Amino acid sequence: MVLISVLLPVVMQTIGLCTRLAGQSRRQIEAACLAKTKLTELTASQDWENGSSRGDFGTDWPGYEWTTALATWAEDASLHQLELTVSWRSMGKQRGITLSTLVYSQEQ
């Protein structure tokens, strides 16, 4: 009985920690998938050139928001690096994941 009373709190803490980590991992995977989908959508539709630079994923994915940043790549003014960041709040902290790609500007 003494052994159970000593081990039970440790086991419960470990289970709680594993559950929290699993939740964080799930949110990171969801954010990466959302970022990939949004980045593909922006590049395919050319909306990165003059579309909105922030938004959310609606009621299907509440709590996730996205923002974009655009920078000129090297010496070529027609080649840009497009970064898309998906952010969310987890365990009281702002978290995020960023994906980037190179895009070619049609305006020149």
Q: Region 6-32: what's the mean pLDDT?
A: 88
Question: Is 85:100 a contact under the CB 8 Å cutoff?
Answer: no
Top-tier CATH class for 2-104 = alpha beta
Where do the DSSP E strands lie in the chain? Answer: 54-56, 65-72, 79-90, 93-104
Distance linking the first and last C-alpha atoms of the chain: 78
Six-digit token string for 25: 């991992």
Beta strand ranges found along 13-57 (DSSP E): 54-56
Rounded CA separation 7/45 (Å): 57
Q: Look up tokens 């959508």; give the residue.
A: 41
For 62, phi then psi, to 5°, come to -65, 145
pTM, two decimals, is 0.78
pLDDT tens track for 42-73: 988 888 887 668 999 999 999 999 999 988 87
